[in-house]
Structure 1
Amino acid sequence: MRPTTNLRVLKASRKKPRAGDLFVMQLPDGSHLFGRVISTDAQAGPSMPGAVLIYVYRQRFPGKDVPDRSALSRDHLLVSPMMTNHLPWSKGYFETVAHRPLEPGDVLPQHCFLSAARGRYFDERGNELPGPIEPVGDYGLHSYRTIDDAVSEALGLDLA
């Protein structure tokens, strides 16, 4: 039977993520990707407040040791910023490994998400933007499955 995700289950947690948390996810080859919680009060749609805005960084690592700050730069994103809920943590696909307070250079100057249904662009607070500002993410709530798909596509892996 095929696994439902390429991401491996690490350690489930009921602890709510906080802005600045660094988390790790494990790929099928055993390597790890790091991500960062940017906000825990994003708006993933007209009636979806309280979403977790995350970044996923491109560099792979052999383990869970937190890399140097330069590897976790807003300029080294693997995929566009995403908004999700707490399930990636509670199911164990994301494991929080450290906390570093966010500094101004850690966060993109502007987040932009496309609402495909409405054909318009919004920021993480639900404010409409005049047009696209790269990198453009999807305006909506991502599940751990759609995060897995986006990461897999970006890395050239077959979808689970």
Structure 2
Amino acid sequence: MNTNLIALRRKEHFESLNLEIQKELDDFYDTKAATHQLKVIKKSRSIPKVGDVFLVSPREGIYFYGKVLVANIVRKVPDSFVEGKHVVFIFKGITHEKNIDKYKPDYSNLLISPAIVGDAYWKKGYFHTIANIPLTEEEKNLDFGFYKLHFKSNFFCKETGELLDKEPKLLGMHGITTISGIGWDIERELIINPSLLEETE
């Protein structure tokens, strides 16, 4: 049986937390993912583009910033099923306003792991694009990738499914994040670190 590296690291992190947080997480894991859905900001039919900066809201009136680094993925391997989807990064640091004034992307301080999502996040209003900022040189050369579970052997890969020869610095799970998946991931982080909801200058 292949070892799931992501699950193993998550287990180790869980065991390092205090017992109160562990109990909260246990209760959280027992609930359905849909219970922790994001708040609707504004529905849109616009197709996400590279450089789009968007808002995501886990609580009413509270927003985190995100950015699209890859749009409309073009598959490079036969078994890839993420074609046409998008790679997004979501950052720590909240805002109460639906504007870009406090947007300060920090790829060393992500709220959740890189994720692959479909247009539905925008169509249903869970992601709300507020600007488009061309990728910086840092973003163009960002060392990120994904961990793909495979029945023969798990491996690291690009969003397209192409193999990577080493673990990238920023690692997510390869696959399409469900429509409730981002909300679930964010809620878990807020349980572990409630101070993420505190506004900083």
- Shorter-chain TM range is 0.7 to 0.9
Q: How many residues align?
A: 155
Unaligned 5+ runs, structure 1: none
TM-score, normalised with respect to structure 2 = 0.69
Matches within 5 A, 1:1-160: 4-42=35-73, 46-68=80-102, 71-107=104-140, 109-117=142-150, 118-156=153-191
TM-score, normalised with respect to structure 1 = 0.86
Unaligned 5+ runs, structure 2: 1-31, 193-201
The separation in 2 between residues aligned to 1:124 and 1:6, in whole angstroms, is 25
The separation in 2 between residues aligned to 1:53 and 1:89, in whole angstroms, is 13
The separation in 2 between residues aligned to 1:143 and 1:80, in whole angstroms, is 14
Q: Which has the higher helix share?
A: 2
Partner amino acid, structure 1, of 2:47: K
Structure with max Cα Rg: 2
SS in 1 for 2:36: coil
Q: Which has the higher strand share?
A: 1
- The worse-fitting range, judged by mean Cα deviation, of 82-91 and 20-29 is 20-29
SS in 1 for 2:59: coil
Partner amino acid, structure 1, of 2:70: S
> Identity across aligned pairs (percent)?
23
* Distance change in 2, residues 1:147/1:127 (3 Å): same
Q: CA RMSD in A?
A: 2.2
